[in-house]
């Protein structure tokens, strides 16, 4: 009986110390408190009654918790691989020609203008308009994307960071009512060839046509319906897309997955979080689930064999301590998918979860060209 109680005490002490062992700790931390707790518990059981033993144990545990708290307070702050110094935001100026500018760049400016302001693009990848988004950022700070026409003139812009300037009293954080007061009623449909497509009206975004450009304003429904992102594309660029859903290709699949990864990291930076690292292995796990959903016409975290995201990660040998999955289906692009996920509370929590360190994205398309997006977040 005495040995059984001693084992219970030691197990309880180990349980209390477990959170420290799950996290990285400095080599200089002194964990003698654990040994001391075990010694004092043993002495208490050998020296008297059960009641006295429990009283001594409680006193020991209190001392142990105090010691652990002092260790944590005294330990040096740990750095992470993706921790970066703050980058100063550029001074935003009122656009000279267009209604909106992003990072002081307007439609019609040249690629040389963009590179003079932001340097070389970090990534170029195919988008739904059949051209490349060129992503500019400094470790996901001051993040924006630009597309160019055949003359290397800007014909598309996007950001989900505080880089928006306007000739109107509108900016990042403006309310939907303020946007509509300045720009009027948003479009309810858009013409593509001989087909008129009705646009969704769930309050996540507004589409406006203004002076030869299409302006999509995205709202954060968890931040009082305020502006959280902006996409501006020329009419020429929009008109060369003959349907809402682009024809699938290997280039578009790759573009969507990396664009979703990039805008996710840009959103984390805006919320004061560390960026995520790309993981190719878990991206393949995600791709297979997107392909499964597209081919077999279902939309669920569990596949038709009843396997969960964690089952699929286990089967692919992905080691993790914490993990989560986001799914999106039917959005026109990676940008629309991300903004929709940010307006869904559970998906938003995954995107903004501080404990995650890695992300992989998988994309596939059904026979109607609708994309299926799978995001797998994890840390080990």
Q: What is the pLDDT of residues 255-278, one digit of tens each?
A: 999 999 999 999 999 999 999 999
Domain boundary at 74, 92, 120, which? 74
- 227 shares a domain with 273: no
pLDDT tens by residue, 133-168? 999 999 999 999 999 999 999 999 999 999 999 999
Mean pLDDT of the chain: 84
Q: Above 60 in pLDDT, residue 295?
A: yes
**Residue of higher predicted confidence among 66 and 7:** 7
For residue 65, name the pLDDT band (cuts at 50, 70, 90).
very low
pLDDT at 84: 55
Alpha carbon distances (Å) from 242 to 130, 149, 191, 193, 206: 11, 17, 9, 6, 20
- 44 shares a domain with 162: no
Average pLDDT over residues 244-263: 97
pLDDT at 87: 85
- 280 shares a domain with 169: no
- Write down the pTM of the prediction: 0.79
- 293 shares a domain with 348: yes
How far apart CA 313 and CA 105 sit, in angstroms, is 42
How far apart CA 325 and CA 32 sit, in angstroms, is 39
Residue 270: domain span: 261-379
Structural domains in the chain (count): 3
Among positive and negative, which fits the CA dihedral 319, 323, 328, 333? negative
- 314 shares a domain with 221: no
Tokens of 294: 């597209």
- 54 shares a domain with 115: no
- 356 shares a domain with 284: yes
Tokens of 95: 């656009």
- 272 shares a domain with 235: no
Residue 41 lies in a domain: yes
pLDDT at 60: 39
Residue 90 lies in a domain: no
Tokens of 305: 């064999």
Look at strands 358-365 and 277-278 and give their pairing. parallel
- 210 shares a domain with 317: no
For residue 34, name the pLDDT band (cuts at 50, 70, 90).
very low
CA nearest to 377, candidates 277, 228, 266: 277
pLDDT at 202: 87
Q: Above 70 in pLDDT, residue 52?
A: no
């Amino acid at each position: 009986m005495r040995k059984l109680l001693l084992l219970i005490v030691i197990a309880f002490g180990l349980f209390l110390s477990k959170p420290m062992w799950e996290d990285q700790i400095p080599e200089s931390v002194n964990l003698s408190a654990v040994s001391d707790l075990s010694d004092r518990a043993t002495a208490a059981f050998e020296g008297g009654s059960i009641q006295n033993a429990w009283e001594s144990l409680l006193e020991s545990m209190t001392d142990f918790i105090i010691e652990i708290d002092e260790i944590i307070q005294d330990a040096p702050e740990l750095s992470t691989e993706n921790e970066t110094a703050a980058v100063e935001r550029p001074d935003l100026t009122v656009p000279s020609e267009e209604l909106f500018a992003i990072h002081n760049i307007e439609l019609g400016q040249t690629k040389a203008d963009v590179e003079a302001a932001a340097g070389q693009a970090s990534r170029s990848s195919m988008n739904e308009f059949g051209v490349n988004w060129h992503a500019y950022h400094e470790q996901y700070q001051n993040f924006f994307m630009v597309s160019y026409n055949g003359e290397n003139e800007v014909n598309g812009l996007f950001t989900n960071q505080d880089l928006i300037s306007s000739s109107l009293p509108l900016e990042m954080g403006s309310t939907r009512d303020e946007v509509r007061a300045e720009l009027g009623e948003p479009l309810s449909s858009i013409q593509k060839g001989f087909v008129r497509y009705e646009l969704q009206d769930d309050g996540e975004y507004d589409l406006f046509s203004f002076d030869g450009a299409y302006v999509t304003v995205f709202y954060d429904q968890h931040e009082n319906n305020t502006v959280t992102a902006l996409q501006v594309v020329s009419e020429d660029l929009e008109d060369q897309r003959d349907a809402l859903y682009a024809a699938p290709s290997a280039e578009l699949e790759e573009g969507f997955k990396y664009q979703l990864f990039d805008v996710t990291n840009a959103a984390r930076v805006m919320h004061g979080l560390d960026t995520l690292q790309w993981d190719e292995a878990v991206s393949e796990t995600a791709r297979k689930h997107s392909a499964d959903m597209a081919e077999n016409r279902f939309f669920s975290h569990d596949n038709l064999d009843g396997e969960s995201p964690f089952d699929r990660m286990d089967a692919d040998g992905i080691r993790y301590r914490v993990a989560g999955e986001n799914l999106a289906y039917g959005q026109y692009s990676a940008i629309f998918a991300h903004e929709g996920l940010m307006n869904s509370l559970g998906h938003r929590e995954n995107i903004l979860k501080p404990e995650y360190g890695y992300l992989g994205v998988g994309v596939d398309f059904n026979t109607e060209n609708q994309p299926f997006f799978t995001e797998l977040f994890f840390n080990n």
